[in-house]
Amino acid sequence: MSDYVYVTYIYTTPQKVWDAITKPEFARRYWVHCNVSDWKPGSRWEHRHGDDSGKVLIDGTVVESDPPRRLVITWTRPDKSKTPSRVTFDIADYAPGLTCLTVTHDQLEHDDAMAASISGGWPKVLSNLKSLLETGKTENIWLTKGKEG
């Protein structure tokens, strides 16, 4: 399985993209889930369901953190049944007012089911993020017709 890469261009600032990924109250609005950490290198992070259960869906370690430009995290099943994969967020100024977000999800060779799941999930999450930042509107992406990622 090759690396998964998704690039999107959003009318917003790098700081808002960074906040959208790292602040739970922001992420819940478009991801439904949220990401919790102090975002310092070496710290633990958790990808939690956004509901009251706060169930941990994915966890891992912060590998690199350079707000608001770059964040690298390991992506681990909570039961540790598979070798972790890795997610890199690169956030760059592209043109005046336009920010380029590149999400690279790699090291997936030990987890085909995760590779299939994230390739369905990232387009939903990142399209919804773009809609939120540009229009203020979102969908509950895990309830629309289609597979949960």
By CB under 8 A, residue 57 contacts other proteins: no
CB atoms within 10 A of CB 140: 9
Interaction pattern, residues 6-45, with other proteins; x per rule: CB under 8 A: xxxxxx----------------------------------
Token pair 């597979």 is found at 147
145-148 long-range contacts, CB within 8 A, separation 24+: 146/120, 147/120, 148/117, 148/120, 148/121
Q: Looking at beta carbons only, is 5 or 56 nearer to other proteins?
A: 5
Q: How far apart are CA 86 and CA 6, in angstroms?
A: 14
Residue in the structure block whose two tokens are 């290198």: 41
Smallest distance, other proteins to C-beta of residue 48, A: 23
Q: Looking at 21-29, 71-79, 107-115, 122-130, which segment touches other proteins (CB under 8 A)?
A: 122-130
Q: Which residue has the tokens 């070798």?
A: 83
Strand, coil or helix: 28: helix
**Out of 29, 116, 127, 142, which residue is the one contacting other proteins (CB under 8 A)?**
127
Least separation in angstroms between CB 130 and other proteins: 6
Confirm or reject binding of residue 3 to other proteins (CB under 8 A): no
Compute the distance between CA of residue 55 and CA of residue 53 in angstroms, rounded to an integer: 5
Quote the tokens at residue 143. 């309830």
In whole angstroms, the minimum distance from the beta carbon of 30 to other proteins comes to 11
The yes or no reply on residue 93 touching other proteins (CB under 8 A) is no
Q: Where along the sequence are the contacts to other proteins (CB under 8 A)? A: 2, 6-11, 94-95, 98, 123-124, 127-128, 130-131, 134-135, 137, 139, 141, 144-146
